[in-house]
């Protein structure tokens, strides 16, 4: 397949220089279905990117699409702030019945605004209010969002510098395996907490991703997460799991922390929660933490009701039984086989992952970008992650068929070979 780079005129002349994805993927996309996008010239692309994790059920999933169109057709409430609506009630009941009760999770549900960073900002506010302390610990290579509160607990130096003010009130600690097993887990963190002379401002909370997506597909072990929860309990800190990218089934279970058997104090969800790529996010927390005053945090689009409709439909369709989790783990094994093969062939590559999130790291960071560029030419959408963009990140829709997955993996293997 050859692709003629389109004239991106209005994007180049009118849109800000801040745009980024359109630079790596010089096509004008027009339609999408399931795991495939089509550009305006009719070229088709297999999607191993899934809206950065926002399209776990594929593009324009027919089940959700039906529910969405029906809702719009019947003039359901579109914009509802935090008014009670029938769509919101349906979502809340479904979320309770399908997600919370079966997992014995006692969470209260907050709609903090429809983006991930809204959810993180609300989680940090709540933790600080409950504990009466300012400091929050995050981890090396964490990504939590671009508004100032979230950015202060994000690792990336380039994004942090964009703040234009010194980002404070956050302190980084080493993520799992940051020293390749050389150093006992939490040695540094725990010493600082116990030593009254350490200079660490005692944190209100710890915020963590179970798998760091933007940070390079760094997978925390279950025992590390359990030890972190223990440390939080012993040291009177709240544990916040940011499950924005890894929740909604990406790693297998609905929440990525289920496998570790932990119960975070606060959980943030966004990206695939609406299931259809519509903006929506949630902040969940233990009931005893629900010390909010009415309206103490708010946001104009926190009641994006069409998203509640697709969200409820997605939960009903995919999470009423254990089928989705089983399928994701099976697809993950399919990926792992290819990864083993690629790394067998290419000594400078390493891989890691869980469920349907995988990373292929190259010693030479430029190689990862080259692989993604070649994959695009071959009709496969792949992006890089990691502090030096040294990791090729695989994030296909969970609903991808084994055949599509195989096709994409073969394209990936070819792109790796052809960039050697």
Cβ–Cβ < 8 Å for 206, 232: yes
Residue 334 or 388 with smaller CB distance to a second copy? 388
Is residue 188 part of the contact set for a second copy (CB under 8 A)?
yes
Least Å from the CB of residue 338 to a second copy: 26
Count other C-beta atoms under 10 Å from residue 325's C-beta: 19
Binding-site member from 103, 125, 226, 286 for a second copy (CB under 8 A): 125
Q: Which of 202, 241, 237, 236 lies closest to 123, judged by CA?
A: 241
Is residue 266 part of the contact set for a second copy (CB under 8 A)?
no
Least Å from the CB of residue 238 to a second copy: 12
Is residue 191 part of the contact set for a second copy (CB under 8 A)?
yes
Binding-site member from 48, 111, 224, 308 for a second copy (CB under 8 A): 111
- The torsion region of residue 52 among left (phi > 0), alpha (psi -120 to 50) and beta comes to left
Binding-site member from 57, 67, 98, 215 for a second copy (CB under 8 A): 215
Is residue 116 part of the contact set for a second copy (CB under 8 A)?
yes
| Per-residue binding letters, 39-78, with a second copy (x by CB under 8 A) | -x----------xxxxx---xx----x--xx--xxxxxxx
273-312: which residues touch a second copy (CB under 8 A)? 276-279, 283, 285, 290-301, 304, 306
**Residue keyed to tokens 């907490």:** 193
Residue 60 or 334 with smaller CB distance to a second copy? 60
Distance CA 141, CA 176 (A): 11
Residue 250 or 346 with smaller CB distance to a second copy? 250
| Per-residue binding letters, 354-383, with a second copy (x by CB under 8 A) | ------------------------------
SS3 136: strand
Least Å from the CB of residue 417 to a second copy: 27
**Which residues have CB under 8 Å from 259's CB, separation 6+?**
222, 251, 252, 253
Total residues contacting a second copy by CB under 8 A comes to 152
Distance CA 324, CA 28 (A): 32
Cβ–Cβ < 8 Å for 49, 383: yes
Q: Which of 390, 378, 299, 415 lies closest to 44, judged by CA?
A: 378
**Residue keyed to tokens 């798998």:** 211
Strands (E), 227-331: 238-242, 266-269, 282-285
| Per-residue binding letters, 318-347, with a second copy (x by CB under 8 A) | ------------------------------
Is residue 231 part of the contact set for a second copy (CB under 8 A)?
no
Distance CA 311, CA 293 (A): 27
Residue 16 or 333 with smaller CB distance to a second copy? 16
């Amino acid at each position: 397949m050859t692709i003629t780079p389109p004239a991106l005129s209005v994007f180049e002349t009118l849109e800000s220089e801040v745009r980024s994805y359109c630079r790596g993927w010089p096509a004008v996309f027009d339609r999408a279905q399931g795991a495939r996008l089509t550009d305006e010239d009719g070229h088709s692309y297999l999607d191993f990117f899934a809206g950065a994790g926002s399209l776990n059920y594929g593009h324009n999933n027919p089940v959700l699409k039906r529910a969405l169109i029906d809702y719009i057709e019947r003039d359901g409430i579109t914009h509802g702030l935090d008014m009670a609506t029938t769509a919101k009630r349906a979502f809340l009941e479904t979320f309770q019945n399908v997600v919370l009760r079966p997992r014995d999770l006692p969470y209260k549900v907050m709609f903090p605004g429809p983006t991930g960073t809204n959810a993180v900002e609300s989680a940090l506010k709540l933790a600080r209010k409950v504990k009466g302390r300012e400091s929050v610990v995050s981890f090396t290579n964490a990504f939590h969002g671009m508004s100032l509160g979230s950015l202060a607990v994000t690792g990336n130096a380039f994004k942090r510098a964009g703040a234009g003010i010194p980002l404070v009130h956050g302190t980084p600690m080493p993520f799992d395996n940051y020293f390749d097993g050389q150093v006992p887990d939490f040695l540094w963190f725990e010493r600082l907490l116990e030593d009254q002379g350490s200079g660490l401002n005692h944190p209100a909370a710890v915020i963590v991703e179970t798998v760091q997506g933007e940070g390079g597909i760094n997978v925390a072990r279950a025992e590390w997460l359990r030890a972190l929860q223990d440390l939080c309990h012993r040291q009177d800190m709240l544990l916040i799991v940011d499950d924005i990218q890894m929740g909604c089934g990406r790693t297998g279970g609905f929440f990525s922390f289920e496998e570790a058997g932990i119960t975070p104090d606060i959980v943030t969800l966004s990206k695939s929660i609406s299931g259809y790529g519509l903006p929506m996010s949630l902040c969940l927390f233990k009931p005893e933490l629900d010390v909010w005053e009415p309206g103490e945090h708010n946001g104009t689009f926190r009641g994006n009701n069409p998203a509640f409709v697709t969200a409820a439909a997605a939960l009903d369709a995919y999470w009423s039984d254990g089928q989705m989790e089983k399928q994701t783990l099976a697809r993950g094994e399919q990926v792992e086989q290819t990864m083993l093969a690629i790394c067998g062939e290419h000594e400078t590559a390493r891989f890691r992952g869980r469920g349907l999130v995988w990373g292929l790291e190259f010693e030479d960071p430029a190689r990862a970008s080259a692989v993604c560029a070649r994959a695009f030419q071959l009709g496969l959408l792949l992006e890089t992650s990691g502090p030096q963009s040294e990791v090729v990140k695989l994030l296909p829709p969970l609903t991808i068929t084994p055949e599509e997955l195989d096709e994409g993996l073969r394209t990936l293997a070819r792109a790796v070979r052809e960039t050697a």
